[in-house]
Structure 1
Amino acid sequence: MILQIANLDGSLALRIPAKLADQIGLKEGSQVQVSFTVDGGITIRAAKWDRNAFAHELATIRDAMPMTVAVTEELRRGARY
């Protein structure tokens, strides 16, 4: 299948026929995962939300954050009653 690339507000957009989009469950606003192949090709797949991968990413970010004094505790120490 040959698809057409269009100019959309200064960016390039891939135009996917409605029939094909319906078959794979894409609609406006859907997210896709793009991969580049060694031979210069592009693979586009409908992105599925992976709950486990998301939880792992959050845990990694949380572990990388330094533990500091809670903001409320800092405010209470500096407050004048």
Structure 2
Amino acid sequence: MNLRISKWGNSLAVCIPADYLRHSGLSEGDQVQASVTVDGAICFHPAKWNRRAFAQELANIRDSLPMGESVMEEVRREARY
């Protein structure tokens, strides 16, 4: 099925046919996660909070941050007592 992208306020939107929503189990107000695949396709998945996945995502972000010097060491060096 071909869908059309339309202007909706200051954004663009795609109207999802009711049959698609019924088959997916989604309804108005549900949150979805969107991702873009390697070939440029847009995929929507129901957004369900997963504590383990969230913890892993935080760990990945923490590991990607550059290690610097301790903020407390910098404060102590600059502090005037």
TM range, normalised to the smaller chain?
0.5 to 0.7
Instruction: Report whether the alignment pairs 1:71 with 2:71.
Output: yes
TM superposition score normalised by structure 1? 0.55
**Is the 1:26–1:46 Cα contact (8 Å) retained in structure 2?**
no
CA RMSD for the aligned pairs? Answer: 3.5
Looking at structure 1, the residues matched to 38 and 72 of structure 2 have their Cα atoms a distance apart, in angstroms, of 50
> What CA distance in whole angstroms lies between the structure 2 residues aligned with 1:4 and 1:25?
20
Match of 1:24 in 2: 26
Gaps of 5+ in 2: none
Distance verdict in 2 for CA 1:61–1:45, change over 3 Å: closer
| Number of residues of Structure 1 aligned to a counterpart in Structure 2 | 78
Unaligned runs of 5+ in 1: none
State the shift of 1:77 in Å.
Answer: 1.7
Identity of aligned residues (%): 45
2:32–2:44 contact (8 Å) kept in structure 1: no
